[in-house]
Amino acid sequence: MLTPANTTELCDAIRAHPRVLAIGARTKPRLSAVSPAQGDVALISTLGLSGIIAYDPGEFTFTALAGTPLREIRAALAERGQYLPFDPPLVESGATIGGTVAAGLSGPGRFRYGGVRDFILAVQFADGTGQLLRGGAKVVKNAAGFDIPKFLVGSCGRFGVITEMTFKVFPTPQSWLTLRIPCADATEAAARIAQGASSRWELDALELWIADCGLKIERCLLARLGGPADANAALAEEIKNTWPGATILADADADSVWSGLREFAWAHADGVLAKIPMTLAAFAPLAAALAKLPGARGHFCAAANVAFVSLPTAEQAAPLDTELRTLGLSALVLRGIGAHARLGISHESAVAENVRAVFDPVRRFPPLE
């Protein structure tokens, strides 16, 4: 384990080893797992590269080093009434901003505001030769050059070691309100998701939870409103009239529910956790496929544009892989040593291979297996 304290030491560490891989807080351990077939791989921790190095509340931007805990960033933004609208997951678990970008993870807020790639403005990273490169610009309005920051979102550290990032942020809504909407079956759930996504309500988040969180909200929709309290209350009454049976969660219960979603508290602690990009059309078939897997739990995020699936054991990854291939879907495994990192169909492209040849010509970064 190498623990550089600055970018100079990090670049030296990359050049000193034939194979390297960056790690952060390891809240998504499967993404940094390397098989014996890869040979000796030096792990480079980014936790020594930590801290917010610039924050301009007036411009709604900040710059932080890759190893900065999300918890620290959230607290600094909250002091100025601002936040990251894409709801980064695993904040309380210790996730870092660099690991969030590398994994491409966003939470419930991505439904209305977009995901992590929609908020990253600039990035500094070390390539496979140990050279520091920059992409993007530390301003909101910028259209020059290749959009390298967005390319590195979800790269899992296989194109370079991210060292520094600049993000735009938003003002925190005045208040939040969460409704629980029961659904009789997958057909009704899909219809209500479609209706909610296209309504005038401008929902802040729209999630379908099919795992018990302790508040008896199993297999139901969660709709979140963010804005002035009076406006939230008026919209909530309209939603309740549209969807009979909808109820408003108490603030404490709502906070617990959203925290449980972001922290994956509903998932099997020692099992497989996978992220599945999808569309609403795939919701019912995927829900039916999960029903075939004993103990499978699912959470459909951002109006069923992303699914997070938890399996109790790594052995069940193979059946899930088969189901995903049948449905034409792919998955990225975040947790679950023993399971392949990618399941379902492959989206590896010639473009990615060409970019890898430029950023890592000596193949220092091991492929994601």
Residues 6+ apart with CB under 8 A from 307: 275, 276, 278, 283, 286, 298, 299, 300, 301
**Co-location of 256 and 279 in the same domain:** no
CATH number, residue 228: 3.30.70
Whole-number pLDDT of residue 216: 42
Rounded to an integer, what distance in angstroms lies between the CA atom of residue 65 and that of residue 124? 9
Rounded to an integer, what distance in angstroms lies between the CA atom of residue 136 and that of residue 101? 15
**Co-location of 187 and 313 in the same domain:** no
* Residue 166: C-alpha distances to residues 149, 221, 245 (Å): 9, 34, 43
DSSP state letter for 96: B
- pLDDT category of residue 142 using cuts at 50, 70 and 90: low
| DSSP H or E run through 352 | helix 350-359
Query: The domain containing residue 187 runs over which residues?
Result: 175-262
Average pLDDT, the chain: 92
* Residue 124: C-alpha distances to residues 64, 135, 201 (Å): 10, 7, 38
* 229: phi then psi, degrees, rounded to nearest 5: -60, -40
Whole-number pLDDT of residue 140: 64
pTM of the entire structure?
0.93
**Co-location of 276 and 240 in the same domain:** no
**Co-location of 258 and 285 in the same domain:** no
Mean pLDDT for 194-217 is: 78
Of 210, 237, 262, the residue that ends a domain is 262
Choose among 66, 189, 53: nearest CA to 126: 66
Residue 353 within any structural domain of the chain: no
**Co-location of 59 and 166 in the same domain:** yes
**Co-location of 179 and 299 in the same domain:** no
**Co-location of 60 and 36 in the same domain:** yes
Residue 30 within any structural domain of the chain: yes
**Co-location of 252 and 154 in the same domain:** no
pLDDT one-digit tens code per residue, 294-343: 989 999 999 999 999 999 999 999 999 999 999 999 999 999 989 999 99
Residue 365 within any structural domain of the chain: no
At 141, is the secondary structure helix, strand, or coil?
coil
Choose among 67, 139, 160: nearest CA to 148: 160
Q: How many domains does the chain have?
A: 3
Choose among 198, 204, 213: nearest CA to 173: 204
pLDDT exceeds 90 at position 64: yes
**Co-location of 307 and 225 in the same domain:** no
**Co-location of 43 and 189 in the same domain:** no
Of 262, 284, 312, the residue that ends a domain is 262
User: Percent of the chain having pLDDT more than 90?
Assistant: 82
pLDDT one-digit tens code per residue, 87-131: 999 999 999 999 999 999 999 999 999 999 999 999 999 999 999
